[in-house]
Chain A
């Protein structure tokens, strides 16, 4: 083992900071207050505002929340899942449904959250079986319901479902809307996104974009 000297000269020893007239701890506290103030201006005001400036000019759409329009009005964000349910929270079967959500009463961005129920939780097991039964009532083989349809996401705002879950819902949506099922299936396939750059993450279908496309199909 060889230890050579540091490759640069060491700073010279000198008296401690700030005038020596005050007791040492007071000197340090004064320096601390000033340092925090200066750094707050640089890191807490200038930095976020500079990022905001660049972001708003270069990536305005993303910086504002990747909003989606349909019929000339904003209907949500491409990134935030939303509920397709009536005012009582009952599922509207004519729409592709997102995953179960633990954010507030479902897809509430003021209360993003996971369920945090554990792998042995009887409550979670009961929820899973309830969700499976609901899918089965749609005529799906209960053993074939994909995992994302049975579980709540981490954020409660997951915008995506698995391609399998989207395909399973195609028949119901076509029936409810009086559309040709093949046409709806083609729409689903057109909305399947593969892994990013071919290898990152999982294949998925964005529910809001699929449902917006569905309204255009209907008209």
Chain B
């Protein structure tokens, strides 16, 4: 069997697996977010937390809960890293320095998982389990809760109420993320991912040297790292590390976990707004763009243009033998299109155009299918823009899912779209204008510029992958990237919740002959066009200076 056949079968298998779980998981999530009954364990949580689960919050209160929880999370994670040397299972590592601890706390709370540290050389097991992995769960749950609040904005009318954040957070963790992670972790252990509490154990190698074998609770963290589209590796080499990604199946399964919730949430959306066809249109748009980018990635990586790949005869620098070009392309496309940022191969060494595609995937705004929660609310904002554009073309007041898109809604949607590129481009410009930050580049010329652009694109889009040659453990990068992650996460969340509040207040508009159907192929095409044109127009000049200058 050839490499391309193997790649095609891997992709077909993945699409089939995702299609199989789309309905049951989407329906399960819809039930979790709409049911009025509480599990006994959940009641215990509400009692300990001291909240009334029946309280239904207005959007500013929902937002305050999200922000309060996130601020407390940043502070707690910062503190844990600073004092880790005094806690158990520290493996002898000192506390993390302030700027790096801030960067890491901002990174994990914002669901980015950018890592300016090297896992096996910096973090004790307690910090990994009790700090970083906890944020893997709850930061994912925050994103899903906000997405559900926006869905309620469409589904409800004439109300100020969007649900209860504490209930959404708890149910996401207990009914969705925890059971899926447990099963996934056991599957990963069976494949060879380690799960123990040892530190490094020295062994004498066959040739007579010594090699320290790492230990750690890796599988439990690996499962939620992918499921929650987090991406922060236990080890520096992330899912390329054989103890994180031991076999080809394990890596394929990780891609499945990454895509599982993002591709199933549109089903939950469809159920919750009472028309599953609306969900199919969203998932079709996400899936088509993902597939197109994946094919492009595989084509350029296997054609391997460029000086070094041509000299070598393949694009294998930074790729593992067991994964090859096929699984590496599949992982790279999926991780950059979901704001995950886990990697099973190193994007800095991809062909110029392959690396450029990874960059473009993030610049689409992480909506194809995007991170858990964030992908859906980002795509719904773009759907609002698409409906608005269609309305302009035919001269009708735009409406989506029975809600009018008035100036207030359009202002919020436009601001949402502007936040990310404005942050990415201004911080990239700042970094390349300053001598110190410029000297962090590993590669020279256009590729060095791509490293900086990639860093700010990844941070602001809460992705977390890197052109990892760049040295980012500096005061400048730890601070600016930390801020970029917080801005890229929480400014859009504020806008989305405001949007949800203003949609929920409206009375539904009756469907007439002039209403644009938003569940047909025409709308899928329109929405795809908006996704690509918005990002393309914003980032084409920057891409021309980096990967395009290098690769063309």
Residue B426 at the chain A interface, CB threshold 8 Å: no
Tell me which of B241, B278, B508 contacts A155 (CB under 8 A). Answer: B241
Whole-angstrom distance between the Cβ of A173 and the nearest chain B Cβ: 13
The CA-CA distance from A132 to B69 in the complex, in Å, is 55
Whole-angstrom distance between the Cβ of B199 and the nearest chain A Cβ: 11
**Which residues of B lie under 8 Å from residue A119 when comparing CB positions?**
306-309, 315, 317, 349-352, 355, 447, 550
**Which of these binds chain B: A17-25, A174-182, A183-191?**
A17-25
Whether the Cβ atoms of B121 and A82 lie closer than 8 Å is no
Residue A129 at the chain B interface, CB threshold 8 Å: yes
**Which residues of B lie under 8 Å from residue A73 when comparing CB positions?**
204
Q: CB within 8 Å of A: which of B179-219? A: 181-182, 185-186, 189-197, 200, 203-207, 209, 211-215, 217, 219
The CA-CA distance from A16 to B163 in the complex, in Å, is 11
Taken residue by residue from 138 to 155, chain A's Cβ proximity to chain B (1 for < 8 Å, 0 otherwise) reads as 000000001110111111
The CA-CA distance from A34 to B215 in the complex, in Å, is 31
Residue B316 at the chain A interface, CB threshold 8 Å: yes
With A24-B64, A39-B134, A157-B237 already in contact, the answer to whether A148 and B209 are too (CB < 8 A) is: no
The CA-CA distance from A199 to B324 in the complex, in Å, is 12
With A3-B401, A52-B220, A115-B317 already in contact, the answer to whether A34 and B6 are too (CB < 8 A) is: no
**Which residues of B lie under 8 Å from residue A52 when comparing CB positions?**
195-197, 217, 220
Whether the Cβ atoms of A199 and B318 lie closer than 8 Å is no
**Which residues of A lie under 8 Å from residue B61 when comparing CB positions?**
16, 24, 28
With A13-B159, A44-B134, A204-B321 already in contact, the answer to whether A113 and B247 are too (CB < 8 A) is: no
User: Which residue of chain A has its CB nearest to the CB of B236?
Assistant: A112
Name the residue in A2, A48, A75, A153 with the highest tally of chain B Cβ atoms < 10 Å from its Cβ. A48
Q: Size band of the A side of the interface?
A: 35 or more
Whether the Cβ atoms of B242 and A79 lie closer than 8 Å is yes
Whether the Cβ atoms of B194 and A62 lie closer than 8 Å is yes
Whether the Cβ atoms of A1 and B207 lie closer than 8 Å is no
User: Which residue of chain A has its CB nearest to the CB of B466?
Assistant: A116
Whole-angstrom distance between the Cβ of A58 and the nearest chain B Cβ: 7
Residue A135 at the chain B interface, CB threshold 8 Å: no
User: Which residue of chain B has its CB nearest to the CB of A4?
Assistant: B274
Whether the Cβ atoms of B195 and A124 lie closer than 8 Å is no
Residue B329 at the chain A interface, CB threshold 8 Å: no
Whether the Cβ atoms of B203 and A76 lie closer than 8 Å is yes
The CA-CA distance from A38 to B322 in the complex, in Å, is 40
Whether the Cβ atoms of B54 and A158 lie closer than 8 Å is no
**Which of these binds chain A: B389-397, B474-482, B514-522?**
B514-522
Tell me which of A9, A43, A76, A110 contacts B138 (CB under 8 A). Answer: A43
Whether the Cβ atoms of A28 and B351 lie closer than 8 Å is no
The CA-CA distance from A125 to B194 in the complex, in Å, is 36
Tell me which of B173, B247, B346 contacts A114 (CB under 8 A). Answer: B346
Name the residue in A50, A121, A159, A211 with the highest tally of chain B Cβ atoms < 10 Å from its Cβ. A121
Whether the Cβ atoms of B519 and A25 lie closer than 8 Å is no
Whether the Cβ atoms of A32 and B240 lie closer than 8 Å is no
Name the residue in A34, A62, A73 with the highest tally of chain B Cβ atoms < 10 Å from its Cβ. A62
**Which of these binds chain A: B45-53, B94-102, B285-293, B493-501?**
B45-53
Tell me which of A32, A66, A82 contacts B211 (CB under 8 A). Answer: A82
With A36-B72, A201-B323 already in contact, the answer to whether A17 and B51 are too (CB < 8 A) is: yes
Residue A134 at the chain B interface, CB threshold 8 Å: no
Whether the Cβ atoms of B186 and A54 lie closer than 8 Å is yes
Q: CB within 8 Å of B: which of A34-86? A: 34-36, 38-40, 42-45, 47-48, 50-52, 54-56, 58-59, 62-67, 70, 73-77, 79-86
Taken residue by residue from 36 to 59, chain B's Cβ proximity to chain A (1 for < 8 Å, 0 otherwise) reads as 100000000100111110111100
Residue A10 at the chain B interface, CB threshold 8 Å: yes
Whole-angstrom distance between the Cβ of A101 and the nearest chain B Cβ: 11
Whether the Cβ atoms of A75 and B205 lie closer than 8 Å is yes
Residue B537 at the chain A interface, CB threshold 8 Å: no
Tell me which of A1, A38, A74, A198 contacts B48 (CB under 8 A). Answer: A38
Whether the Cβ atoms of A195 and B6 lie closer than 8 Å is yes
Residue A217 at the chain B interface, CB threshold 8 Å: no
**25 CB < 8 A contacts A-B:** A1-B275, A3-B273, A3-B511, A4-B274, A5-B274, A14-B52, A14-B54, A17-B166, A28-B64, A30-B50, A32-B69, A36-B69, A64-B194, A73-B204, A85-B209, A116-B318, A116-B469, A119-B308, A119-B447, A150-B313, A151-B317, A152-B317, A199-B13, A201-B322, A202-B248
Chain A interfacial positions (CB closer than 8 Å to B): 1-18, 24-25, 28-36, 38-40, 42-45, 47-48, 50-52, 54-56, 58-59, 62-67, 70, 73-77, 79-87, 92, 95, 99, 103, 107-121, 124-125, 128-129, 146-148, 150-162, 195-202, 204, 208, 211-212, 215
